[in-house]
Structure 1
Amino acid sequence: MEQAAPTATEAQPPLPVMDRPVMDRLAGLPRPLALLAAMAAGGVAALGFEPVGSIAGPILGMAMLLLLLEASPRNRAFGAGLAFGFGHFLMGLGWIATAFTYQSAMPPFMGWVAVVGLSAFLALYPAIAAWAARRLAAGTVSLALLLAGFFIITEILRGTLFTGFSWNPLGAGWLQLKGVSALAAIIGANGLSGLAVLAGGSLAALVGGRGQPWRGRMVAVFPLLLLVGIIVERARPPMDEAAGATIMIVQPDIGQDEKLSEGGHEQAILTLAALTRMGLEQAPDAVAIVWPEAAIEYPLEEMPGLRAQLGGLLAPGQLLLTGGVAIERDAGGRATGARNSLYALDSSGAILARHDKAHLVPGGEYLPLRWLAEPLGLARLVPGSLDFLPGPGPATYRLPGVPAFAPSICYEIIFPGAVAPRDDRPDFLLTISNDAWFGPSGPPQHHAQARLRAIEEGLPLVRVTPTGVSGFIGPRGELLHSLPPHAAATAAHRVPAPLPATPFARIGLWAPLLFALLLVGLGMGARALSLRGETRRKT
């Protein structure tokens, strides 16, 4: 008697595995428990992010997800990936809720609504990766390779679609192993995320892949990564920190609540000025002094007296690089928009350059779909009625006495391949930010992503925020000098020479994408071998 073929909605059998006791227990989990386990795996994977910063978290979390996917029917893979992603982003993005406590337009509980909603949306990306990998895989090894490739692809999409949100790539945990994180110069931070999935696959293959083709090779991936990390780190030539110009950074330790209080903007400038005077007594050879994002909340173009006072802090030949606000006006003088800017002032108070932030924060600096959002009681987080307007994008500035630099303002530094122009390579990266909004976990996560940009581009990086973490980062992601959080202080340091352009600096996101395609190809090869072996066992 002929049997009807199963419909698309019927559960597909789990992948062929030899280690039945472990997989049977996982396969026997009721669906709600399996989803909770996947969400817990996502939370464990998020332990790779600062302030915990443990590479063990992503590896264990991905191993848990891989085993759950392998033990489950194909039609449950999307849900498992969605649960994983939700737990992962919920754990890593809690700092967003803190930002809502510094505004009065919306009740503070809306911060957690935003965290939950954003986490649910971002979870779609790992869900798609899990669905695609599980649909094509046959065995632990092919599943791990395919998930690593698709995870890289969906992470790149997460950073580009709908204005993009690249915050916290899974590979950030590798910063704890300098030799492995150095590979970001070749495959980018997104490629490091693929390595984290492969390392999780190494553990999953050890637990659940006995008898499968390439199993030994997959188990060896994590030890091999550790070995590569040790070799790369020891083979590095020492960096010449004596070369380069001296830059001074100023961290005023001014919280957002202080700044928004009555007279807070004026007091912030006075505090910054006093710290600058004291810092220059210790570092008179500094060629540039850097203040944080939005250090000056007044339109500098329209205030020559303020510019002259700021220039008076400097010796001839020195520059002040400060965050500020520019106001766009129509022919009648009416304000039509604002720009989040970095100004370069000389000792006379003249504006030598102005760089406008290009990648604005939705809901922070402008309100998407304002016509719909405002009737619902939604508002942007930055005070004021004018939406910010985007600038032109990455640029290199060459100013008198200062090495060529490419600035990024706050959020812009999280986007791989979008911090420096490829055809006009700078000598260093400069990022100014205001992380006073972001509670205890947001600032160190932001700082970690700045380190990843330095490694990718092979460029030293100077980072300044009002409350920390501020400091100097070497072109391999080294922490050269930093100011502790919540300390009013200055620091001066020579900016080391840049490295030659890295492979990632030359081709950008094509580097991790090509790596992802290689992993997908290997995964399909492992699938073919696994299916061939399964056919032989049956015959």
Structure 2
Amino acid sequence: MQKFKLLLPHLLLALFGAISVFSFAPLYLLPLMWLSLAALTFAIQKSPSPKAAGWRGFSFGLGFFLANIHWIFISLNTFGGMPAPMAAAGILVLAAYMALFPALAGWLTLKLPCPDSLRVLLLPTVFILTEWLRGWLFTGFPWASVGYSQSPMTPLAGYAPIGGVYLIGWLLCLSIALIVSKPKWLKGWGIVASIWLAGWGLNQLEWTKKVGAPVRVSLVQGNISQAIKWDSAFYLDSLKSYLELTQKTRGQLVILPETAIPSFISDVPDWYPQMLRDAVAPRKADLILGIPILGKHEAEYYNAVTVMSDPALPLYKKQHLVPFGEFIPLPWLFNWIYQFMDMPLSGFSRGAVKQAPFSLASGQIAANICYEDVFGREIINALPEATMLVNLSNLAWFDGSWAAAQHAQMSQTRALETGRYMLRATNTGVTAIIDEKGRFKGVLPERTAGILEGTAQNRIGMPPYAWGGDYPLLIALGALLLGLGLLRRR
């Protein structure tokens, strides 16, 4: 019984961490994130020692990440062929690794020097700094950053063009900390009200401006099951499916998903590229699609996007690859895992960090592939040249989960940060047109084959976040910690 009493607070914290998943897309139950962070804040503030605060942060993080990334199990087990116990253990290990970051935040909150009257600033600051670290270390995995839960639905989304998702997250955590610490302190409530009111005002500003006329776009969703996508027996069926859909499009910019052609261009039947071009040629439309591309050497190949309507086939090569899915980190340590998985083309090469947008009649189009648009600091590399962003994805790996909806919410934040339209063409969803305010202008139902027809607007200009990315916020938060430490010493 005594052990259970000691364990109960940690179980409750894990539960409060887990309910955060409902605050993200597709449910958008935003107050649950506030409740989740309030529980963490209260627990850490009441911790008797930095070590206890660290363990409480870990318990919260374990529940948080198990709930928010559980869908990786589908890719490992259902489509990757990994035995279920091994896949479940892998998810637990990954969640435990990610829980180390809120654990570090909890430990630092009580360990760092700070005047007692200003300690309310510590947890929001170190929590967001460790969240950024999670999104950078070992190539980064910034999924489920708390700021996404408020974008684009709340006034805090107005801060995205200023400091990106991490500024949104810091202001959210600060608001919660002020309320939890001194709920009857009118000054604290006044600060919170000012933060949220200012966010609403910022969201009314136009950070970029229109250029040219609206462009008619056609986003194609093929709904090819992951179970057959790489099966040679269904290869021609997949090609014909995308050809038939392309022939039905009406836009000036037509976009097909990531690896819409599931083979190297040299293996594609000779008649196929020309038939795709013929499908859009009468209206002189631009046709963009995803395809693997061979490099100069035998073991060099890329996850790429090309402009199929241009016989020169200009390319964008994916530069931020998914660990274990698209490349093997530390092969000497992890290569054994692939004895239990069947991952096609899991040894992709990286493209260049800076790649020029496609210069097309429909605009300066900057492509990114799947997971890349969860990294705001990398998407801004295409600015100021890019006038529109496109994301090509295949989330059939996680079919039936909320991963696609969560990914689309991150795309909404990228649109806010850059002041650009984001066009999402996906295999199974979420295929969508997102405007510069992060609003859906059109969405196809998930797991259906179809074409999303609509209009998009090219835009120019540089919001503040596009100039400096995350660095101004990181410097400011670092300076805040240094200042708090110096005040404590004095």
Q: Please give the TM-score of this superposition, normalised by the length of structure 2.
A: 0.90
User: How far has the Cα of 1:105 moved from its partner?
Assistant: 4.4
CA distance in 1, matches of 2:405, 2:53: 33
1:251 aligns with 2:251: no
User: How far has the Cα of 1:469 moved from its partner?
Assistant: 0.6
> Match of 2:118?
142
Contact 2:444 2:452 in 1 (8 A): yes
Partner residue of 1:321 out of 288, 291, 309: 288
**Does the C-alpha gap of structure 1 residues 256 and 163 become closer, same or farther in structure 2, counting only changes over 3 Å?**
same
**Does the C-alpha gap of structure 1 residues 472 and 456 become closer, same or farther in structure 2, counting only changes over 3 Å?**
same
Contact 1:140 1:201 in 2 (8 A): no
> Match of 1:133?
109
> Match of 2:254?
289
1:269 aligns with 2:239: yes
1:110 aligns with 2:110: no
> Match of 2:273?
307
Contact 1:250 1:289 in 2 (8 A): yes
1:67 aligns with 2:42: yes
> Match of 2:411?
450
**Does the C-alpha gap of structure 1 residues 53 and 506 become closer, same or farther in structure 2, counting only changes over 3 Å?**
same
**Does the C-alpha gap of structure 1 residues 524 and 142 become closer, same or farther in structure 2, counting only changes over 3 Å?**
farther
> Match of 2:8?
33
Secondary structure of the 1:220 match is helix
**Could you give the per-residue CA deviations for residues 6-49 of structure 1, whole angstroms, max 9, x where no partner exists?**
xxxxxxxxxxxxxxxxxxxxxxx954223223222322334322
> Match of 2:446?
485
> Match of 1:336?
299
Q: Which moved more, 1:388-397 or 1:75-84?
A: 388-397
> Match of 1:3?
none
Contact 1:97 1:115 in 2 (8 A): yes
User: How far has the Cα of 1:300 moved from its partner?
Assistant: 1.4
Describe how 1:44-193 pairs up with structure 2 within 5 A: 44-74=19-49, 75-103=51-79, 105-136=81-112, 142-175=118-151, 177-193=153-169
CA distance in 2, matches of 1:351, 1:468: 30
User: How far has the Cα of 1:302 moved from its partner?
Assistant: 5.5
Describe how 1:331-480 pairs up with structure 2 within 5 A: 335-346=298-309, 350-375=311-336, 378=339, 382-384=343-345, 387-421=347-381, 424-438=384-398, 439-480=400-441
CA distance in 1, matches of 2:299, 2:210: 48
User: How far has the Cα of 1:277 moved from its partner?
Assistant: 1.5
CA distance in 2, matches of 1:168, 1:107: 26
Secondary structure of the 1:168 match is coil
> Match of 2:193?
223
**Could you give the per-residue CA deviations for residues 254-289 of structure 1, whole angstroms, max 9, x where no partner exists?**
22124244532321221111112122xxx2xx2221
Contact 2:364 2:387 in 1 (8 A): yes
CA distance in 2, matches of 1:377, 1:497: 43
User: How far has the Cα of 1:234 moved from its partner?
Assistant: 5.5
CA distance in 1, matches of 2:322, 2:207: 39
- Aligned-CA RMSD value: 2.8
Contact 1:198 1:221 in 2 (8 A): no
**Does the C-alpha gap of structure 1 residues 57 and 139 become closer, same or farther in structure 2, counting only changes over 3 Å?**
farther
Partner residue of 1:198 out of 174, 188, 201: 174
CA distance in 2, matches of 1:200, 1:140: 18
**Does the C-alpha gap of structure 1 residues 165 and 440 become closer, same or farther in structure 2, counting only changes over 3 Å?**
same
Please tell me the residue identity of whatever aligns with 2:11: L
**Could you give the per-residue CA deviations for residues 489-530 of structure 1, whole angstroms, max 9, x where no partner exists?**
1122222232521110000111331442465468669x85xx
User: How far has the Cα of 1:194 moved from its partner?
Assistant: 0.9
Secondary structure of the 1:84 match is helix
Contact 1:202 1:220 in 2 (8 A): no
Contact 1:275 1:489 in 2 (8 A): yes
CA distance in 1, matches of 2:103, 2:200: 34
Contact 2:210 2:459 in 1 (8 A): no
> Considering only CA atoms, is the larger Rg found in Structure 1 or Structure 2?
1
CA distance in 1, matches of 2:450, 2:483: 51
CA distance in 2, matches of 1:497, 1:455: 14
Q: Which moved more, 1:44-53 or 1:440-449?
A: 44-53
Secondary structure of the 1:464 match is strand
User: How far has the Cα of 1:340 moved from its partner?
Assistant: 0.6
Please tell me the residue identity of whatever aligns with 1:227: L
CA distance in 2, matches of 1:461, 1:216: 41
Please tell me the residue identity of whatever aligns with 2:31: A
User: How far has the Cα of 1:487 moved from its partner?
Assistant: 2.3
Gaps of 5+ in 2: none
**Could you give the per-residue CA deviations for residues 375-395 of structure 1, whole angstroms, max 9, x where no partner exists?**
4565566325x6111111242
User: How far has the Cα of 1:341 moved from its partner?
Assistant: 0.7
CA distance in 2, matches of 1:493, 1:431: 16
CA distance in 1, matches of 2:340, 2:380: 32
Secondary structure of the 2:366 match is strand
> Match of 1:511?
472
Contact 1:410 1:434 in 2 (8 A): yes
Secondary structure of the 1:404 match is strand
Secondary structure of the 2:359 match is coil
Secondary structure of the 1:119 match is helix
CA distance in 2, matches of 1:311, 1:405: 19
**Could you give the per-residue CA deviations for residues 35-80 of structure 1, whole angstroms, max 9, x where no partner exists?**
2232223223343222232221221111111111121112311111
Please tell me the residue identity of whatever aligns with 1:311: R
User: How far has the Cα of 1:178 moved from its partner?
Assistant: 4.2
Q: Which moved more, 1:40-49 or 1:351-360?
A: 40-49
**Does the C-alpha gap of structure 1 residues 399 and 287 become closer, same or farther in structure 2, counting only changes over 3 Å?**
farther
Contact 2:159 2:203 in 1 (8 A): no
User: Identity percentage over the alignment?
Assistant: 25
